Structure 1
């Protein structure tokens, strides 16, 4: 039974010797990325990591602190609380940070 399950796996799916060639074959066939680019190491975006870390610390961890600091009279129950505003800011800022990952459009002469 175990041998039959192994036979049905794609070549390289188990992570053995043919894993790289099988992965590059599937990637070259089903991806828009060229094989040369796919085999190169992906760059680590330290700036994005820093921005997301800063955003997480300020807006996620700062939310309960801000709720303790700001008086409740400023945020009546029929209006959003300071935590809700922090959450809205988080949801608005994140897509703009993610736009940095998109490649720049080619410049036409």
Structure 2
């Protein structure tokens, strides 16, 4: 076969894993900022302790917790995808090298 290019593009898996990892990192930073601005302390300070505001305060705190919990799940999922892609990439590279050796390539890439 004249084309020596690999079926699995070198670095493609690493690049994609890095993108997921960066998205997870950014999301974690946004989540911290969101929690700081909408957490129980921030909401209580904003509404005060008037009896009329207790229902509103509770609703906002519950909403903030729900959003935070949902975003934590997304963050964990992005991290898990990045980890899985790194594993797939490593396994693919090992398998590609082993297959290349079967077809007569040496470790240095020469036939």
TM-score where L is the length of structure 2: 0.40
Structure (1/2) with the larger helix percentage: 2
Q: Which has the higher contact order (CA 8 A, sep 6+)?
A: 2
TM-score where L is the length of structure 1: 0.40
